[in-house]
A and B are shown apart, each in its own frame.
Chain A
Amino acid sequence: MPVIDVSDLTKYYGAVVGVDGVSFAVEEGEIFGFLGPNGAGKTTTIRLLIQLLHPDRGRVAVFGIPLDAPKADLRERIGYLPGEFNPYLTMTGARFLAYMARYRARPPVLRPFLLDTLKLTEKALKQPIKHLSHGNRQKLGIVLALEHEPDLAILDEPTLGLDPLMQEAFYDILRRLHDKGKTIFLSSHVLSEVEKVCGRIAIVRGGQLVALESLETLKQKRPRRLTVVLEETDEPPVLPGARLLSQEAGRFDYLVEGPIRTVLGALAALPVQDVVFPEPDLEDVFMAYYQEPSS
């Protein structure tokens, strides 16, 4: 049974599309990446999952329970970090965590571990939140979202404002939760982040889902770059299923869109000096999906 099951989810803000006909499922114990450019519908989808927004059409079930079912309140089992984390600025960090924890029945069992891992010191927690740096506020948000060891963590741009060291610490936290069988729904536009921790990703653009694959499948499906260096020729060879991008003194760059086997067969008959066939870059994949269909 999927932890999140979204079917034909649609939300409009007047005439403006939020999401339109989005369907996907997130399995238990999965780290699921949710990618898209600004305004693509990531935050709208998340707010629909948290029941902050009400869908115009479609169905959302979390832990197998439809969110529109009477008395469906699953938030005890969910941890949520919004894209823009805005705590009560006049409270101290410690009081803020204590106040918010009172609304949950689950105790904040992971708080010491999270504070320690994210290097959120006692001194920082004693300060009013308005005096904390953006990075420390974001750490506070991560602690709030995960301290009760939720079965499902929904995190919208969680590494925003964290330095690279803290980002690594955060990925460790995610891996630890993953090892415990927790499900993580991670919205991000940081490609390296998704590449590091996610097993499957969905890409949204213009409110619609344009891809839903495992990371490996997605990379394999997309066009790959190929650089061929030939001996004693400036004439680019014709490779079936490959499009010439550029050339310079016997060095030819292609974009391989067809089967790799055909291209390799064609190369075998040529005076090849060198072949560079780089690992598919997620950024290429990402950009290909991000581009508007017209472009």
Chain B
Amino acid sequence: MISGHYIANIFRSHRALLIFAFLMVGTFQVLIVALVIGADLLGMIEQFFRTLPPQVQYVIGEQFLAQFSVNGAVAFGYAHPLVIVMMCIVAILLPSRHVAGEIETGTLELLLALPVRRPTVAVSLWSASGLALLMLVVGCWAGSAVGLLLYPETRSMPLIKLVEIGINLWLLMAAVSSYTLLMASYVREGGKATLRASGLTLFFYFLNVAVVMSPDLRFLRLFSLFYYHYPQLLMEDGSLLIRNGFVLGAVILLCGTLAVRQVSRRDIPG
């Protein structure tokens, strides 16, 4: 059901991007720890926030500053827009390029003329995306671990929490990757799949922002995937991982299964 050759080929094709993303998210986590310990972080943050527009201060400041602590700041590294954007690029690029993109270029036609089954291709791609995202989460963990080793003052940090936060981040990104795979299985142009998946991801992200900004919209928060990844809260309440895991896991399974079914049934090029 899974082709090792196929997965290896995907990693090989995107090795530059994956290595760059791995180093970037890892380095970023080291910097976060260094900032927390090595600088007067709260002072710096307050100074930084004064330079932001009032609306942004309202959106970010209320939640971020209220929960600020050493643990909270390290956790924030797993929800920082830079990390989220980097991981979304990988989560969206891989499925859209290797289903719709390969239909567009004609390489999928060549591959499917070989004795390889369509579900195998779809499941392998799904797995490759999941593994690539796991690699980036491992990058985050490695960065946090290096940071914590460099600064012994942080040894009180419960490492299990970082593992939980990393798992939650992986689930969020695997969900993004799964609905991208589903979208890509219905179109024949890689660009179109990328655009649609990026649009939906931005919609979820800004829906979450809108909910934070406007209490009247709080009832909509359940419909944003980003609501199910809040590392600072998870640092305090580990049971949230079960709820988040249930919702994100359901999205992953549903979209992934539908995508595999659609790849198996569709016409190529169609």
A and B from one complex: yes
Enumerate chain A interface residues (CB-CB to B < 8 A): 47, 50-54, 73, 75-76, 78, 80, 82, 84-88, 90, 99-100, 102-105, 144
Residue of A50, A54, A75, A144 touching B265 (CB-CB under 8 A): A54
Kindly state whether residue B113 has any CB partner on chain A within 8 Å: yes
Residue of B111, B113, B114, B268 touching A53 (CB-CB under 8 A): B268
- Docked Cα-Cα span, A144 to B110, in Å, equals 10
* Residues of chain A within 8 A of B110, CB atoms compared: 80, 82, 85-87, 100, 144
Chosen A-B contacts, 22 in total, with CB atoms closer than 8 Å, are A51-B112, A52-B267, A53-B270, A73-B115, A73-B117, A75-B113, A75-B114, A75-B115, A80-B113, A82-B106, A82-B109, A82-B110, A82-B113, A84-B106, A85-B110, A86-B105, A86-B106, A87-B110, A88-B107, A99-B9, A100-B111, A103-B5
- Docked Cα-Cα span, A52 to B116, in Å, equals 12
Q: Are B115 and A104 in contact (CB under 8 A)?
A: yes
Q: Are A104 and B114 in contact (CB under 8 A)?
A: yes
- Kindly list the 3 A-B residue pairs having the minimum CB-CB distance in the complex, ordered from nearest: A86-B106, A80-B113, A103-B114
Enumerate chain B interface residues (CB-CB to A < 8 A): 3, 5, 9, 13, 105-107, 109-117, 265, 267-270
Q: Are A100 and B107 in contact (CB under 8 A)?
A: no
Smallest Cβ-Cβ distance to A84: which chain B residue: B106
* Residues of chain A within 8 A of B107, CB atoms compared: 86-88
Q: When A86-B110, A104-B115 are in contact, do A53 and B267 touch as well, CB less than 8 Å? A: yes
Q: When A103-B115, A104-B115 are in contact, do A54 and B109 touch as well, CB less than 8 Å? A: no
Q: Are A100 and B114 in contact (CB under 8 A)?
A: yes
- Docked Cα-Cα span, A86 to B270, in Å, equals 17
Q: Tally of A-B residue pairs with Cβ under 8 A?
A: 58
- Docked Cα-Cα span, A82 to B115, in Å, equals 16
Residue of B105, B106, B116, B269 touching A103 (CB-CB under 8 A): B116
- Docked Cα-Cα span, A178 to B13, in Å, equals 38
Smallest Cβ-Cβ distance to B114: which chain A residue: A103
- Docked Cα-Cα span, A86 to B13, in Å, equals 16
* Residues of chain B within 8 A of A73, CB atoms compared: 115, 117
Shortest B122–chain A CB gap in Å is 15
Q: Are B115 and A76 in contact (CB under 8 A)?
A: yes
- Docked Cα-Cα span, A46 to B113, in Å, equals 11
Smallest Cβ-Cβ distance to A79: which chain B residue: B113
Q: Are A90 and B13 in contact (CB under 8 A)?
A: yes
- Docked Cα-Cα span, A87 to B269, in Å, equals 15
- Docked Cα-Cα span, A75 to B267, in Å, equals 17
- Docked Cα-Cα span, A53 to B103, in Å, equals 13
* Residues of chain A within 8 A of B267, CB atoms compared: 52-54
Q: When A53-B267, A99-B5, A100-B110 are in contact, do A105 and B105 touch as well, CB less than 8 Å? A: no
- Docked Cα-Cα span, A86 to B269, in Å, equals 13
- Docked Cα-Cα span, A104 to B13, in Å, equals 21
Q: Are A52 and B117 in contact (CB under 8 A)?
A: no
- Docked Cα-Cα span, A35 to B165, in Å, equals 61
- Docked Cα-Cα span, A136 to B115, in Å, equals 25
- Docked Cα-Cα span, A67 to B9, in Å, equals 29
* Residues of chain A within 8 A of B269, CB atoms compared: 52
Smallest Cβ-Cβ distance to B3: which chain A residue: A103
* Residues of chain A within 8 A of B112, CB atoms compared: 50-52
* Residues of chain A within 8 A of B109, CB atoms compared: 47, 52, 82, 86
Question: Counting chain A CB atoms within 10 Å of each CB, which of B106, B110, B117 scores highest?
Answer: B110
